[in-house]
Structure 1
Amino acid sequence: MRKISLLIALVLMGTVYGQKDITVESLYKTYQFFPKSVNGFNGMKDGQHFTQVSTTGEGLSITKHKITAYSESGEIILNLSDLKLDGEQLDVQDYSFNDDETKLLLLTDMQSIYRHSYSAYFYVYDLKTKSIERLDHSDSPQTLATFSPDGKQVAYIRDNDLFIKDLAANKITQVTSDGKKNEIINGTTDWVYEEEFAITKAFGWSPDSKHLAYLRFDESAVREFTMEYNVGALYPELYTFKYPKAGEDNSKVTAHIYSLTNQSTAHVKLNEYEYIPRISWSNVNNTLVLQTMNRHQSQVVYTKVELKGTEWVANAFYTENSKTYIDIDDNLIFLNDGVSILRTSEKNGYKHIYKIGFDGSEFQLTKGTWDVIDFCGIDEPNKFVYYTAAKKGAIHKGIYKIDLKGKKDVAISSETGQNSADFTPGMNYFVKNYSNANTPPVFSLCDNNGKEITVMENNEFLKNRIAKHEFAKKEFVTFDLNGRSLNGWMIKPGNFDPAKKYPVYVSIYGGPGANTVADGWDFNSAWHQLLAQEGYIVVSVDPRGTMYRGKEFKDKTYLQLGKYETEDFVDVAKLLQTYNYVDANRIGIQGWSYGGFMTSLAMTKGNGVFKMGIAVAPVTNWKYYDNIYTERFMRTPKENESGYNDNSPLFFADQLQGKYFLIHGSGDDNVHYQNALEMANALIAANKQFDFFIYPNRNHGIYGGNTREHLFRMMLDYVKKNL
């Protein structure tokens, strides 16, 4: 099963307030409304036990627990508090077992690189001998260290090169030697693959531990982007990295297989492609499957790579085409028959599960006018695949299982609210995370029929806290707009009086791949409750282009990002103006990232319907954003000039009405600060007054130290003054 990082377990808790008032400090300094999670859950190979990091009498320890008789105290496997090397205490931040669970990889000194990537120092701990040693004695940190299936070796990345350590022989083999910053990357990914394909690990072990497949990125032709940081220094430093913007050159990515037996590397020859977004080994034989895509991301090709004699032979066995684009996800399962896979596709209008044979055959398992969301795993002996889906509508996510013949399809969780499942090896048990819009997350251990065995965390402290603060109920609503129906929610002040008129704060995102209207717990709920406490009605809506309503709804914005979403937000605001309890002249809008883009368009193209807008870290012209994301929806600027210009707030700055607040981090490697500067220039040229604030060195998340408290206090003051 997937490991849950120990980092998520860190929860900042304060004392329970004895009053109703919510404050910015309680949200973003003492984190009074942050829910607890399950601490480092890691299923064990026998399928009957799991490990987690617990506070015991010995200090912080990795403990072993029986699933069917769970208790917080368990057998101590390793006392982390006493773990030392050369007299120094090791601060372990994550861990993983080898296959026979006799050794541990311990991760320390983790440092973030980008959103998902990190560097760290790894140690190997032998549970039998109780010995510990560094994985690599170089001064350079490593990343993505992974045991081989037989547990005898570890592959990892250092300085853009791929290494293998033989644990018994204590010998390190350098698989590649051409790695160089901003030029060649082996085994991990470049910035744009990490951000837009959500992949950092670009290597994998074959099932027999004799081969290592990996991707090589030649980013030497990719143009560089430079940011200034350490602005407190006399001469601030510059950070330069490769960032391919819309229409610009990508890394040249190739696939390779290293054979440990003869220490040779083979180049996998593929048909024409632009991207290799996924690389996966079959779990039953030495068959590698690569997914490749064209530049427009309108075609995906599945290629099988097998060892024939002494050569690796690649054969494409399945191709899907789309008139718009195809999303890449992790929904890929190899079946034990060795000749077929399960995948998801939107080819028939909704996202469903298909069985694909290496001979090109195809069979659809799930059917209906609803979307599958994610795979949870497969129980091959009993022939069931487990998945999540939005069967009860886009705001809900339930857990289901269906047999491999596509006949028996049953729910194993509530079909309303938000449910997710993390299965143990063997697929007999899973940890369920359930919440709804007004109930914090509950983590429970369940069997594979959904029967609850025990509750691991019910966040009772947070339920009591929100009760004491008298949180207003989040209500789901439908906005009917000229024949189209949009999902939304509304939070009214606790002392709401329908005879009065209230200002409205519209909280948005609006972009592809993310919904803000979901029947699940959202940490931002406390921020919205604070606004409601201040007398504002808070509203959110998912416009056309958002998820889980079928491909036609999702793809409506193709080639015109911003057009239909802006129309939807403006029309919702106009509809709200007709409500008896809404002050028609006091409607504001706020969004972050894509939501900042939408806010900027709404404040310019909205003809004054919004009195105030706060745009945090917005894209202001898609030509400034990365090519994988942007071209997926817009193609290149050369191919679609009008699509880029007609929906860029830069070209509508002269139409700005109302109070507009532009906020950005100068160290944003994702949506570059350049976007905010260009928006500022356009507004200055149009002689429009606006408010502008920059957070020095902060990235796209705008956090660190007092940053979040400062940001939201500033936003609250702005709302109270201008709305």
Structure 2
Amino acid sequence: MRVVYLSLFIASSLAAPALAQTAPSALAPLTVEKIMREPAQWLGGLPSAPYWSEDGKHIYFQWNPAQARRDSLYEVSPAGGTPRKVSLAEQRGLPSVRGRYDQRHQRKVYEKDGDIYLLDLKSQKVRRVTNTAERETEAGFALQDKLLSYTRGGNLFTWDPATGETVQRTDFRRGNRPGPGELDKSAKFLKAQQLALFQVIRQRDQDAKARERAQKALLRLRPKGIWLGNKTVENLQLSPDGRYVTYTLVQEPAADKLALVPNFVTVSGFTEEIPTRSKVGAPQTAYELGIYDIGRDTTFVLGYKELKGLDELPAYRKEYQLTAKAPTDTAKTKAGRPATEVRRVAPYGPFWSDNGQRAFLVVRSQDNKDRWIVALDPTTQKISLLDRQRDEAWINGPGIGYEAGNVGWLPDSRRIWFQSEETGFSHLYTVDVTTGQKKALTSGKFEIQQAQLSRDKKTWYLTANKTHPGEQHFYRMPLDGGPLTQLTSRPGASEVTLSPDEKTLLVRYSYANKPWELFVMDNKPGAKMRQLTHSTTPEFESYPWRDPEVITIKARDGADVYARLYRPANAAPQGPAVVFVHGAGYLQNAHKWWSQYFREYMFHNLLADQGYTVLDIDYRGSSGYGRDVRTGIYRYMGGKDLDDHIDGAKLLVEKYGISPQRIGIYGGSYGGFITLMAMFTQPEVFRAGAALRSVTDWAHYNHGYTDNILNEPYNDSLAYARSSPIYYAEGLKGALLMCHGMVDTNVHFQDIVRLSQRLIELKKENWELAVYPVEDHGFVEPSSWTDEYRRILKLFNANLKPAGPAPGATGQN
């Protein structure tokens, strides 16, 4: 009977999603203890990180069907069958997943365990290139695929597969070049006297000089010694013609004070301090592009004075009575007038065309408000602008990110392709480096989330949310643009990896109430998906998990805000509701696939079983909806993002019959921050809240995240004051539960301690703090998850249920 049951589940799991919306079973009631157990033990170990073998005969992935402490590597045939666990001995012989291919896709070079290997893709034979105690990294091809390149000890080496010859291409040295020794007058006199008096001394001196001349002649055959001072180098590349080595010079800032996180529960029994990070506004690493001209035996550092807008300061500075081109205190022009402030930039690349004749760079301003794509001429050390994207908030988005982003050359070696949010949504563009002509290959109110060229470089393969913001599908498109042919069709999300011959798609697929599984399908529209894995347990399958409605909320500014809605089977009039706030800020959760917040998803089913309506909102700042939603929180976190939750609560009252006196809110990390802002500034809307691992003061968070949204605290103090909950704590009226891990190296425990002291000084009584001594930012222990969510449930039952006490009691012991 069990085999029949499992096969029926597989069949039903592939049926229309609407069939899953059924009343909860009385036979399998959900409890906090059940849903917060180790996921692999009752949900099942879901497959992740799938990839093809280089010959396309095997599919490898991480999996945990045995409910072990961690995932293991498994292998299955594309034709199906029972997945097989790969032994450690077999894993040692497998090529690395990462690596680089030559232009004809006949060879792959990769690093494994600190050594370099070369794989012939036709014969599947592996050749070991290095076998040293020192680690070699950054393996690639050089000189039009004639050589392999790699770095060792901060220097660039090449290896010739035909001869086996290894050549060191750079000689970077830490410290400063030693100067020639200077003799004082007395020493000069004595040396001259010795040479004049003694013939043997004269002869030996002449011999020494001859040896020195011979040594210098020999050194001319070796790379130039390049002294770095206190800098380091990264991203070493040999140009396709072998004339130049480009490299990134890295200047770390002077030692800045790091926040220390004390760890109280340790193996040693002593308190140990964990050094973590500096805080927002601290000095940042500086980057420069160096060019070593091998033929001229000289080095250059690229300048950027030609960049349009390099001295254009952000508009917010005007609020502090600064002009858009503010003078510096020290720089002066030749006329004696102050020079304009020039922003620091970071270069990425160069990226060389297939024919090796052209190169381009991606250059980002350190304040992340500008991204330039420029053509590079290493001969003249000149750059020319090809594209500039300016954003008064910050540059980001799918395929753009915070570094070079998704960029490359088209096969004509004349056009560059890249992604940009120029229209408000991330789309695919090309620009001709000879004419400057720019062309959009895709357009519309959707995002290109991933883009790659086929191996023959005649076709685009794209992942996009074209059909709905909450769905991800795989598409094919002609090289020069045109209609998108949709290849996947099931609602939800399809994460696709092409087989080596590009005839088959490996699909990691899920729906809102159906966890991730692996499938394969032919590379054509409407092809049947064949399931390779079945991961969920019978216990998990015994509960009819809800398919939450994806709805839109009309925000006060007219925007459509997407949300997930969970409803009780028999909702009572004027019943309670809970609003969930996802974390990370730039993240999507109101979608149609299995949520990374799977514990919260299960908790929302539990709440619905107990009569709660649950609303899970993709508030302003969330991903998946384009540039305006992404940057909607610029300079004011707790502004439009909090308004979206207030508007969501209003919708619950007006459309779904929820009592305005019985709405709670909770979330972790950024969700904890929003919960605090809601409880402190909207006490009439939210009667109870649980703030987990919350940011309480953005001036104490990290630079990389916070500076993009709020700028530096010493330049934009207004943004920090209006965005930090600690400044609003006097507004607390409802019941507040705060939970925080004591070894949180992301949002430090210090954050919640500072807020607790503020609440004590304000004489607030209706709050509690639960601490978790062994937990970092993301909890890992089931006991911690269980304790935390018991407290959350108790908080809501005590304050939101009709039979509960008056608002204000936390309901905690």
Following the alignment from structure 1 to structure 2, what is the Cα–Cα distance between the partners of residues 135 and 716?
57
Mean CA deviation greater in 351-360 or 691-700:
691-700
- Contact residue 184 and residue 219 of structure 1 kept, 8 A: yes
Quick one: distance in 1 between partners of 2:294 and 2:783? 50
Cα distance in 2 for partners of 1:619, 1:468 equals 38
Quick one: distance in 1 between partners of 2:370 and 2:109? 42
Is 1:703 the counterpart of 2:780? The answer is yes
1:282 aligns to 2:357 (yes or no): no
Contact map agreement 2:32 2:786 (CA 8 A) in 1: no
TM (norm. structure 1) is: 0.77
The answer to whether residue 521 in structure 2 is matched with residue 446 in structure 1 is yes
CA 1:53/1:412 → structure 2, altered by over 3 Å: closer, same or farther? closer
Once the two structures are TM-superposed, the CA of residue 219 in structure 1 deviates from its matched residue by 1.8
Give the deviation of 1:268 after TM superposition: 3.8
Partners in 2 of 1:203 and 1:541 — Cα distance?
45
**The one of 321, 337, 358 aligned to 2:412:** 337
Matching residue's letter, 2:605? Q
Superposed counterparts of 1:144-543, under 5 Å: 146-148=139-141, 155=150, 161=154, 176-178=172-174, 186-187=233-234, 213-221=246-254, 223-231=256-264, 232=266, 233=268, 235-240=270-275, 243=278, 245-256=279-290, 267-271=301-305, 274-276=344-346, 278-279=348-349, 281-282=351-352, 284-286=354-356, 287-308=358-379, 313-327=382-396, 328-329=400-401, 330-359=405-434, 360-368=436-444, 370-379=445-454, 381=456, 383-414=458-489, 416-425=491-500, 427-450=502-525, 452=527, 455-459=530-534, 461=536, 465-482=539-556, 483-493=558-568, 496-509=569-582, 512-522=585-595, 523-524=598-599, 525-543=601-619
Which aligned pairs between 1:106-125 and structure 2 lie closer than 5 A? Answer: 106-107=112-113
Distance 1:541 1:26, change over 3 A: closer
Question: Hey, what does 1:190 align to over in structure 2?
Answer: none
Q: Which residue of 2 aligns with 1:571?
A: 647
Equivalent position SS for 2:643: helix
How far apart are the structure 1 equivalents of 2:391 and 2:172?
A: 37
TM-superposed deviation, 1:587: 1.8
Task: Say if 2:89 is the partner of 1:81.
Answer: yes
Asked whether the 8 Å contact 2:361–2:373 carries over to 1, the reply is yes
- Distance, in Å, in 2 between the alignment partners of 1:538 and 1:354 is 40
- In structure 2, how many angstroms separate the alpha carbons of the residues matched to 1:660 and 1:153? 60
Aligned to 2:47, what secondary structure does the other structure show? coil
Query: Taking structure 1 as reference, are residues 332 and 96 closer, same or farther at Cα in structure 2, changes over 3 Å only?
Result: closer
Work out the CA distance in 2 between the residues paired with 1:246 and 1:338. Answer: 41
Greater CA radius of gyration, 1 or 2?
2
Deviation at 1:164, TM superposition (A): 5.2
> Structure 1 pair 437/611, CA: closer, same or farther in 2 (3 Å)?
same
Distance verdict in 2 for CA 1:704–1:227, change over 3 Å:
farther
Structure with the higher fraction of residues in helix conformation: 2
TM-score (norm 2): 0.69
In structure 1, C-alpha distance between the alignment counterparts of 2:691 and 2:374, rounded to whole Å: 43
CA contact (8 A) 2:138 2:151 kept: yes
Change (3 A) 1:25 1:38: same
CA contact (8 A) 1:610 1:658 kept: yes
Code of the residue aligned with 2:363 in structure 1: it is T
Identity %: 20
Cα pair 2:410 2:457 within 8 Å, conserved: no
1:111 aligns with none
Structure 2: how far apart are the matches of 1:104 and 1:351? 31
Partner amino acid for 2:480?
Answer: K
- What is the number of equivalent residue pairs in this alignment? 650
C-alpha contact (below 8 Å) 2:487/2:525 kept by paired residues: yes
Q: Do the aligned partners of 2:583 and 2:669 also contact (CA within 8 Å) in 1?
A: no
CA–CA separation in structure 1 for the residues paired with 2:786 and 2:241: 51
Residues 133 and 398 from structure 1, CA distance in 2 versus in 1: closer, same or farther, beyond 3 angstroms?
Answer: closer
Structure 2: unaligned runs, 5 residues or longer: 1-25, 64-70, 176-229, 311-342, 801-813
For the residues of structure 2 that align with 1:512 and 1:448, how far apart are their CA atoms?
Answer: 35
Is contact 2:261-2:276 (8 Å) kept? no
Give secondary structure in 2 for the equivalent of 1:338.
Answer: coil
- Tell me the secondary structure at the aligned position of residue 36 of structure 1: strand
**Secondary structure at the counterpart of residue 443 of structure 2:** coil
Structure 2 letter corresponding to 1:663: C
Q: Could you say if the C-alpha distance between residues 144 and 397 of structure 1 is closer, same or farther in structure 2, counting changes exceeding 3 Å?
A: farther
Verify the 8 A CA contact 1:372 1:387 in the aligned structure 2: no
Change (3 A) 1:512 1:212: farther
Residues 1:601 and 2:677 aligned together? yes
The whole-number CA distance in structure 1 between the counterparts of 2:606 and 2:232 is: 46
From 26, 30, 33, the counterpart of 2:43: 33
Hey, what's the Cα distance between the residues in 1 that align with 2:296 and 2:755? 57
Within 1, Cα distance between the matches of 2:477 and 2:778? 39
Gaps (5+ residues) in structure 1? 1-16, 84-89, 108-120, 188-201
What root-mean-square deviation, in Å, do the aligned CA atoms of Structure 1 and Structure 2 show?
4.2
For residue 520 of structure 2, give the secondary structure of its aligned residue in structure 1: strand
Q: Which moved more, 1:30-39 or 1:437-446?
A: 30-39
Contact conserved, 1:51 with 1:62, CA < 8 A, in 2? no
Q: In structure 2, the residue corresponding to 1:557 is in which secondary structure?
A: coil
Q: Distance in 1 between matches of 2:277 and 2:616?
A: 36
More strand by share: 1
SS in 1 for 2:632: helix
> Is contact 2:553-2:647 (8 Å) kept?
no
